[in-house]
Structure 1
Amino acid sequence: MCANGIDKPSLQDIATICLDKFKSLPKTGKPTLNQWTVLAGIVEYNRKTDSLKVVAIGCGTKCIGSSKLCPNGYLLNDSHAEVLARRAFLRYLYRELKQEGIFQWDSKQKRYKIDDHLEFHFLSTQTPCGDACILAESDGEKPAKRKRLDEEASEMVYTGAKLIRDPESDVASDDMQQTPGALRTKPGRGERTLSMSCSDKLARWNVLGAQGALIDSLITKPIYFRSLNFCCSDAHREPLERAIFRRFEDKSFQHTRFQPQKPQIRIDNSCELSFEHAQRLDLQPSPNGLAWSLLPEELRPYDISVNGTRQGVTKKKMNTSQAASAVSKYSLFKSYQDLLCSNPKVSDIRSQNVLALEHISYLASKNLAVEYQLAWEQLKSCYFLQWTNKPKDLLNFTIRNV
């Protein structure tokens, strides 16, 4: 794994700039006085100019059940802050690719190359759900018993994320068993979700990059987070490192393009960098998801969603593209297709589409990123054997027929 020695920017620099950016956003959609949420941010650092800027912010705690998943890509299945921040980051990357801002065209590789001086850092105001929340005996502290939500506790060492049952096992398993290193789906009451925990998603991005399959087909190398920063009282280094990379260190994964990373994990457990809307037992979780991207105001960089749908959509338009959040699969797929249509440099990718772009499906476009998909299949067999699979009919939408 690649060891990254990092001095700049500091956790305090990253947290301060993200919290300040959140405060500067409009009040619409933010938690009320009796609500809490989680904030995640992605910061771009330029080593040459020693400059720092926030490029994506996400806030949210909700996730929809498997029966509510949308076949047209409108709904956000997962509105946890970490996921919304990453999706807002994708909006930023599409804009930069279109404008050739932080990307330059590499004529030899026929892909875009990101500025060598840039690196990206991730921040969260809460420990990611899933494995990162579980203290094991080997972490030097005795694991806490499962706590009730109404119990007073200054420290939470328990995850509500649910274990994925082994389909080949006849033994009934406890979904809430606090097994270190196991894959889990998002927590929640009622119907189980198909969305993997944030710990598992961060671990995936740590190998395949945060750019996803569509953007990966356009760029020369994956985009990794150089550091993961947590300003919250419940964060512990050992389970965070285990969740992100250590639980896979004894398993073999070799690839020329995608390499398991070993990002610096930094924690601030003090109250100095605390988030004003952090979780408290006397508050209710905010129902809203917020996503902000570093984009011009005319592109509406600030997106608010409720139950996975863009806020303010009437019932009449609920099943139309107008219901789609700016960071939904549908909207991001549209950004991808717009880029292919407007940029002659990526004609080799366009030429792989036998059908006209408006007829090709989201799934088919993702599958054109052959190297990424082969690496993901290999990674699942090595690391993520129990990663959930969403029905393919939820990924077969096109921009024209939705």
Structure 2
Amino acid sequence: MLADEVSALCYERYRALPRRGKPERGREWTLLAAVVRFEAAGPRVTKEVVAMGTGTKCIGQTKMRKSGDVLNDSHAEVVAKRSFQRYLLHQLGLAASYQQCSIFSPGMETGKWKLKPHITFIFFSSHTPCGDASIIPMSESEDQPCKPVGLEDVMRQSAECAIVVGKCPYSQEAMQRAVVERCQHVSPLPEGFQVQEVKMLPSDLQFEHSHGAVQALHESCKAKLVPCGAAIGWSAVPEQPLDVTANGFRQGTTRKGIGSPQSRSRICKVEIFHAFKKLVASISQENLPKSLRMKKLETYQDYKEAAANYQEAWQVLRSQALGAWIQNAKDYLQFT
């Protein structure tokens, strides 16, 4: 079954990571999330984990910094998403330098790129998201029958999305309600954006450092289980793929070291912003997209707002489906 294939691949990649940042044996637990790339080359399909994250914490509003150099949210899904952004920036760099190994090919407009048609991605999470997706009625069985989905089903349409969830208390109805139904009627969306069909695929394989797995293994132990304080980010990039943080900064950072470039997570806002600006600077003006060409953009907010269609789509989504979504004050977006 595809869900078990994806889970096993993610767990294997996690085990291959260094020990640093992983839970203390018998005392700590964590969550895992990842992005898996599927590439169909003729009859052969290759699978590769390209981004991964662990973590259970966020820093809280009082510890946020206007310099963008702290990782505000270290929940596994967010760390995996931001690690995936590092991977995408690397792949865009390959595409811009005309390297065939990139996942992107030229789009219809100058400076824009599209995913190659034989490539698709699946998101993995070792547990259902907290909140609505984890509210399961007592009358509902945790082992609901779910139609098995094979790799050929997912690869049939490159635009199709799938989320695989590791073994945990699971409700197909709750996941549909939280992830799909609240967004499926959002409209109108600008050009280039559309509501995607998302397949929810539960796995029978449990993450070894999940709360349930650690608790079951150490039932006789009287020590209280606590969430791991560190977060791990990993990207399939050639330079410094691993990023281990604690309290929003690189693990091992002292109070005196906070604010130095060495203290920054590679996936904090300012570091990803600098990686993006470095990519833009490597491309000639005539090959940039219209939104970035011959414009005086300086701050993080300037560049965000230059993506007008994205901002419009995000505004529609927020107003129609995510009204309670917390927004940061613009003071936190003025860094360069």
TM range (shorter): 0.7 to 0.9
Matches within 5 A, 1:154-165: none
Within the candidate set 3, 15, 21, 2:7 is matched to 15
Alpha-carbon distance between aligned partners in 1 of 2:249 and 2:160, rounded to the nearest angstrom: 28
Within the candidate set 315, 321, 330, 1:383 is matched to 321
Amino acid at match of 2:240: R
Within the candidate set 328, 331, 335, 1:393 is matched to 331
| Corresponding residue of 2:99 | none
| Corresponding residue of 2:153 | none
Deviation of the 1:55 alpha carbon:
0.2
CA contact (8 A) 2:167 2:206 kept: yes
- The count of aligned residue pairs is 300
| Corresponding residue of 1:241 | 176
| Corresponding residue of 2:57 | 62
Deviation of the 1:109 alpha carbon:
4.3
SS in 2 for 1:336: helix
Deviation of the 1:23 alpha carbon:
0.3
Kindly indicate whether residue 261 of structure 2 is the aligned counterpart of residue 321 of structure 1: yes
Deviation beyond 3 Å, 4+ runs, structure 1 = 106-110, 248-256, 347-350
CA contact (8 A) 1:122 1:225 kept: no
CA contact (8 A) 2:162 2:201 kept: yes
1:343-398 Cα offsets, whole Å, 9 max, x none, are: 1222644434325xxxx110110000001101111222211222211111011100
Within the candidate set 40, 53, 58, 2:33 is matched to 40
Within the candidate set 232, 247, 264, 1:290 is matched to 232
1:208-267 Cα offsets, whole Å, 9 max, x none, are: xxxxxxxxxxxxxxx977210111221211100111111344564444321111211011
| Corresponding residue of 2:84 | 89
CA contact (8 A) 1:253 1:379 kept: no
Deviation of the 1:116 alpha carbon:
1.1
| Corresponding residue of 2:167 | 232
TM-score normalised to structure 2 length: 0.83
Kindly indicate whether residue 258 of structure 2 is the aligned counterpart of residue 263 of structure 1: no
Ranges in structure 2 where 5+ consecutive residues have no aligned partner:
96-101, 143-157, 216-223
Alpha-carbon distance between aligned partners in 2 of 1:133 and 1:303, rounded to the nearest angstrom: 29
1:25-70 Cα offsets, whole Å, 9 max, x none, are: 1111111111100011110001234111000110000011111111
| Corresponding residue of 2:209 | 277
CA contact (8 A) 1:361 1:396 kept: yes
SS in 2 for 1:89: helix
Alpha-carbon distance between aligned partners in 2 of 1:68 and 1:233, rounded to the nearest angstrom: 32
Deviation of the 1:277 alpha carbon:
0.6
Structure 1 residues 224, 136: closer, same or farther in 2, change over 3 A?
farther
Amino acid at match of 1:323: S
Structure 1 residues 249, 337: closer, same or farther in 2, change over 3 A?
closer
CA contact (8 A) 1:231 1:267 kept: yes
TM-score normalised to structure 1 length: 0.70
Q: Percent identity?
A: 34
**RMSD value over aligned CA atoms?**
2.1
Alpha-carbon distance between aligned partners in 2 of 1:363 and 1:328, rounded to the nearest angstrom: 15
| Corresponding residue of 2:121 | 120
| Corresponding residue of 1:351 | 293
Amino acid at match of 1:390: N
Kindly indicate whether residue 25 of structure 2 is the aligned counterpart of residue 30 of structure 1: no
CA contact (8 A) 1:127 1:232 kept: no
Alpha-carbon distance between aligned partners in 2 of 1:99 and 1:28, rounded to the nearest angstrom: 30
Deviation of the 1:126 alpha carbon:
0.9
Alpha-carbon distance between aligned partners in 2 of 1:264 and 1:385, rounded to the nearest angstrom: 24
Ranges in structure 1 where 5+ consecutive residues have no aligned partner:
1-8, 143-154, 156-222
CA contact (8 A) 1:236 1:267 kept: no
SS in 2 for 1:58: strand
Alpha-carbon distance between aligned partners in 2 of 1:35 and 1:267, rounded to the nearest angstrom: 24
| Corresponding residue of 2:151 | none
Alpha-carbon distance between aligned partners in 1 of 2:233 and 2:52, rounded to the nearest angstrom: 6
